[in-house]
Structure 1
Amino acid sequence: MRKLAVTLALATTALSTPALARDDAWYVGVEGGAMLVEDIDWDVGAAIDSTTVDHRAGFDVGGTVGYDLGVVRLEAEVGYRAANVTGLRSTTTIPFVNGAGATVFAPGGSYDYAGGRTSALSFMVNALWDFGDDDGVQGFVGPGLGVARVKSRLALNTNGDALDDSDTVVAWQAVAGVRAPISDNIDVSLKYRFFNAPGVELVDIAGRQWYGRFRSHSIMGGLTFNFGAPEPEPVVPTPEPTPAPTYTPPPEQPPVAQPIQCTPGPYIVFFDWDKSDITPEAASILDNAISNYQNCGNSQVMLAGHADRSGSASYNVGLSQRRADATKAYLSGRGISDGVISTEAFGESRPRVETADGVRELQNRRVEIMYGPGSGQ
């Protein structure tokens, strides 16, 4: 168990891609990995715990179909696990088929040359609790309940099997792991599974009943495809520029030339979620601001970057600075000198629309531009 904990801790460090919300979406997944079967102690007839079967490491594979409710995911799972027998120890007799084809009994003892295979085909329903920030690796843990068809085949020689039977029983499991996205719709995961199928009843070739349980421990890697797509951003119409007031001179007076007004803003441009790219809508607003700037001389320009509350506070400060820097690059690339432009990142501290923590809000993902007398002070 200590090795399993270390493996999960390393995976948490390695899978550092920001997580994407999968709420209210269907998903499908495949998984596979290594498995260790606990020694199976069989009651043979009236002899309690008389036969112990050892296995080498095996494999565990499966597929899932589920629905993400938010904090909790519900999924249906089909799994198959198997491991080969490496030997058995028994205090009672073991039947086998001799060279003449007759069923005889070997005395109790250790049979390191015994062979065979034990497998379990399961159909489970899992309830998984997700925890962790949306902008980091997410952990999950939960139980599962279902049925399993456990099959065991044991032999002391190549002439025939001493036991070759199967039984379907109620099974349960416990799952824990971590997951992280590698694209908008695909997640990778690493998980540990403890699987338990008690109350297995089999019959050997001599007609004796074998009673025991199947338990295994698995470390599995998985790949999940999420059908949900990120929510589309609302379309915000480009605000029309405010027309400058016109002056009508008195009829008896000659026309008086009016000075051109400096319109300092603010001009507001919005950004896609977790992005600092200038959108076509934002470019239109910035072009209008650049045009009006020509009426303000060489005034100072102040860019204030902001973010919504869907990420951590420290991450949002950096994101709002990148948005301000992208806006500055756009302005300086179209004739406004770098020397008159100042930037400041406010992160999520000055929302335009008040929201709860973790909520995506387009109007809070913005940069505000001000210039003219007193700007940038």
Structure 2
Amino acid sequence: METVKMSIKKALLAATMLTLPAAMASAQPVSGPYIGVGAGANWVNNPEKFDITGDTARTIAGLPASADIRFNDVGKANYELGWGGVASLGWGFGNGLRAEVEGNYRSNEVDSIRGFNLAPIGRTGGFQTTYGVMGNVFYDFDPGFLGIGPSYVQPYLGAGAGYMWTDFRNLRGVSGAPGNVGTQIFSDDKDGSFAFQGIAGIAVPFTWLGVPGLTLTAEYRFLGILGADMEVSSRDAGNRVLQSAKLDVDKYNHSAMLGIRYALFQPAPAAPVAAPVQPAAPAPSIARTYLVFFDFNRADLTARAREIIGEAAQNARRAQSTRIEVAGHADRSGTPQYNQRLSQRRAEAVASELVARGVGRDEIGVSAFGESRPLVPTADGVREPQNRRVEIVLR
């Protein structure tokens, strides 16, 4: 009869797990190499201001020959909503920190051009594209830092710097002003300069697909590109160059992107291993020490773990135990501080299950030792399943 009851319990648990939503997979810190891709919408910070320099800049700006050869805000451009994409290769350190190298591309079509003493300017066209390489540093926040147990989303912040190229592809506008009808402002140039960015996002693990390390990301990116020098010219109706000069452009972009991140070489979740103490004598005896094991970076109880805790609660009543000691432990992957908190959450989860099984809370003593008392000694950073445990001792 006990066997039949156990089979029914397992079947009900399996059915419940199959009906859980797809997002129900606990977030974990990235450890080791990973790759990522993302794409989405890109906005240029409109209007984009043009400064102009050069000995021939006076004519384009419509100013007298005695004027200074550098003028601010001689023209502006507005751009339509565009798109962008990123691809990255990085390394996670297992403690929330990540570092990566990123390649990116953004493209926006010009919507309008103003200034250059050619108002009104119509019949605009052309594209502005930016692309380059950035080095980024991220911090993934501990999902349990509020003490609410495992989390299914993981916020992160990042910053980066690098080198970007700005490419004006046939950027143009035709003047309709009296005396300048048909005169064009035209640029088809490329220049590279320093760039920086800030990133804020959230990650949702997709381990429910059976692929450890697969994560969906959603993020906002701000990208600044400083001091791109682009050649601009004014042309007559026959497309002959009248004057040319240099535009000094500071560019700012805002992007909203969805992406996929995949942490390479992640082990499959280890099945929990129970190691109850076997009776020393043929006669039936009550075990007083129990081990409950956990998956990597998890503090939630498996079906097998609940069975072991139920056995411990039942035997505590049979043995008339006056005190139950619950001690949480972690392996050496991650920082000591993080592992201390993780072992505490594991111990609290076991204590809560004992109370649910009829044990009084005042009969339970809870302690947490982090990675300081391994069952199997290992080097720092090693994921050892037998060290991810809670020990229950009946006194």
1:297 is aligned to: 320
**1:244 and 2:261 aligned:** no
Deviations 1:138-177 (A, max 9, x none): 3221213446244321222299752265524242351321
Match of 2:190 among 169, 173, 176: 169
Match of 1:217 among 249, 252, 277: 252
1:74 is aligned to: 101
TM-score, length-normalised on structure 1?
A: 0.68
Seq. identity, %:
21
TM-score, length-normalised on structure 2?
A: 0.66
**1:208 and 2:242 aligned:** yes
C-alpha separation between the residues in 1 aligned to 2:56 and 2:85? 39
2:130 is aligned to: 122
- The structure-2 alpha-carbon separation of the partners of 1:173 and 1:219, relative to structure 1 and needing over 3 Å to count, comes to farther
1:113 is aligned to: 120
Report deviation, 1:322. 4.0
Q: Would the aligned equivalents of 1:319 and 1:347 in 2 still touch at CA under 8 Å?
A: no
- The structure-2 alpha-carbon separation of the partners of 1:36 and 1:282, relative to structure 1 and needing over 3 Å to count, comes to same
**1:179 and 2:200 aligned:** yes
C-alpha separation between the residues in 1 aligned to 2:316 and 2:109? 73
C-alpha separation between the residues in 1 aligned to 2:312 and 2:260? 44
1:61 is aligned to: 83
Report deviation, 1:354. 6.5
2:114 is aligned to: 87
Q: Would the aligned equivalents of 2:118 and 2:176 in 1 still touch at CA under 8 Å?
A: no
Q: How many residues align?
A: 322
Q: How does 1:9-158 map to 2 (within 5 A)?
A: 20-21=29-30, 23-31=32-40, 32-36=42-46, 38-42=48-52, 46-47=56-57, 50-51=60-61, 52-56=74-78, 59=81, 61-70=83-92, 71-85=98-112, 87-89=114-116, 110-115=117-122, 116=124, 119-131=127-139, 137-146=156-165, 148-157=167-176
Q: Would the aligned equivalents of 2:43 and 2:253 in 1 still touch at CA under 8 Å?
A: yes
Q: Would the aligned equivalents of 1:28 and 1:63 in 2 still touch at CA under 8 Å?
A: yes
In structure 1, give the amino acid aligned to 2:136: L
In structure 2, give the amino acid aligned to 1:263: A
Unpaired runs of at least 5, structure 1: 1-16, 90-109, 247-257
C-alpha separation between the residues in 2 aligned to 1:318 and 1:22? 18
In structure 1, give the amino acid aligned to 2:347: A
**1:367 and 2:387 aligned:** no
C-alpha separation between the residues in 2 aligned to 1:112 and 1:199? 21
C-alpha separation between the residues in 1 aligned to 2:224 and 2:28? 26
Match of 1:193 among 208, 220, 223: 223
Deviations 1:188-246 (A, max 9, x none): 32332123542435562232352323431223333222133764333454336423224
- SS class of match (2:306): helix
Report deviation, 1:38. 4.4
- The structure-2 alpha-carbon separation of the partners of 1:359 and 1:53, relative to structure 1 and needing over 3 Å to count, comes to farther
- SS class of match (2:158): strand
Unpaired runs of at least 5, structure 2: 1-25, 62-73, 93-97, 144-154, 206-214
In structure 1, give the amino acid aligned to 2:88: G
Q: Would the aligned equivalents of 2:77 and 2:114 in 1 still touch at CA under 8 Å?
A: yes
In structure 1, give the amino acid aligned to 2:328: G
In structure 1, give the amino acid aligned to 2:268: P
2:287 is aligned to: 263
**1:285 and 2:285 aligned:** no
Deviations 1:262-297 (A, max 9, x none): 4321x1112224433221332343355456546522
